[in-house]
Chain A
Amino acid sequence: MRKVAYYKGCLASLSAKELDSATQALAPKVGLELIELESVTCCGAGDIHEAEPDYYLHLNARILSYAAAEGVDTLLTVCNVCTLNLRQANFMLLGDTELRARVNENLVAVGVPAYEQDVDVRHLLWEIAEGEGYELLKGAAHKGLKGLKIAPFYGCQILRPSKIQGFEDPDRPWSLERIIQACGGEPVDYPAKIKCCGFPIIQAREETALSELIQPIEQAYEAGADAIVTPCPLCHLSLDAWQSKLKKSTGRDFNMPILHLSQLVGVAAGLTESELKFKRHVVSVKPVLEKLEA
């Protein structure tokens, strides 16, 4: 078991509790012992970075510092946007000793330990798409997905900017497809899988956002997907919860179930509803589960 610090972020703590519960249940099966960070806040979701960027840097430094204080070298995330925010702040601090010293001074002034020991921020997706995590995943996914057609949706910020994320080719990613296959599913290909779902502007510019949101859902639907899987709870929120708005504006009812990455692997690994909490989804996951039982 490899010990890693675990940063849930806002969504998995609040409206996407199912992601947290599925991740906690899945972790030991893929060789991860999660040390949940308690004294942490929101990473700012790109919004604090835009509103008060210096505060954004300090909030994220505080999260990194509490992760380092656990004596681990990896901070595990389950959200695209958390991953980018934390990695970006981390690179700013690691690459600029003066900046790091100033931020540390501020941290210490309010009673937070200085961020001394470097940690690496990694998304769960990267941990299980290769190496030991991937080997364990193949063994754990014994129940399988029985050839279900799954559309991978990466979203933006796990791929771009690649100079900060850098795990895979941002135009030809492979990690979700590899995981879907390892779980016995059939990955469905479609162009919008690396595009934006519109979430960041879904409140401020709803129409623009919905024109983005419809693309992956429509394309996955047309490619015959049984469900979409995403590594990001914000993508999940817009794809799942805002799908009903598409019906209103386009008259089309896609009824496309949206799964969190941890849930998809969790189903294949035989985790139960009490851990996966599909009941919390807006679009019913039942058709998928029925196909699996059949």
Chain B
Amino acid sequence: MKPARFAYVAPDSIEDVLDALDRFGDEAKVLSGGQSLVPMMNFRLARPEVIVDIGRVGGLDGMSVVNGSLTVGARVIHARLEAPTGAMPDGRTEPLGGVLGSLLPEVARFVGHLPIRARGTFGGSIAHADPAAEWCILARTLDAEMVALRRGGERVIAAADFFETVFTTALEPEELLAAVHLPILGDDWRAGFCEFSRRAGDFAVVAAMTAVRLDPATGAISEARIGVGGVAGVPVRLPAAEATLVGEVPGAEVHAAAAEVAAGEVDPAGDLHGSAAYRRDLVRAMVARALAQGAGAPG
């Protein structure tokens, strides 16, 4: 189908974007990569009066390493996270190493297909807030911080408060998501990601991300994070399963036990793509595999 009529503005500065959003409020929609918004407009599930295209704005597509976090500009396309680089504090741009540097490409290749990754953006995915979206799961699991700008103001929103329900975030209509801060996991962290989808490039039925921190002296887990998508209206953390990991040395039995708790901790609804029981089984399998993947990939 074809989209309904809309007025169009393509500012070339952040200030003009914020002015437009301020002026048009909830009549306006930000257009970034268009890989989620335009399908919804073509279906007429979305009928914005005004489109504010941020594709010509400079300064939103940087990646930089500052104070132990990687700041990803909202306009960074998915494809760039397949081989992430970051501007370092001394100004040089380098390939991003470490745990986050190997996790991002691992996750990026699951986001849609190549042509989708050539246009779709990291920030668009976060703002769109599909509960099965890989970047949303990553943001929730790693406790990312979202930087929202509005005319004359800025606020930082924690991932736990950002995702409210399906396709709904804490962003106000007047706000632009400018960037996301991701913690750079130190070398004592191990991270893994696993997803199940019916066909390559589809949204996940269930996907899980795990990150555990190891005590260098004992090899035991001192901190654990498990995030799952596809089981609720937002990506969720599983604190009970996380707690079973703390104090344990990673290994198949420990992973299986945590995965079992994870499967009991989610409360998925069944739909066309899988019954509730099936999704629960997938949570068990995906969590165990993500943990195993993390265990096997030091640094």
> Do A and B assemble together?
no
Interface residues of B (CB under 8 A from A): none
Interface residues of A (CB under 8 A from B): none
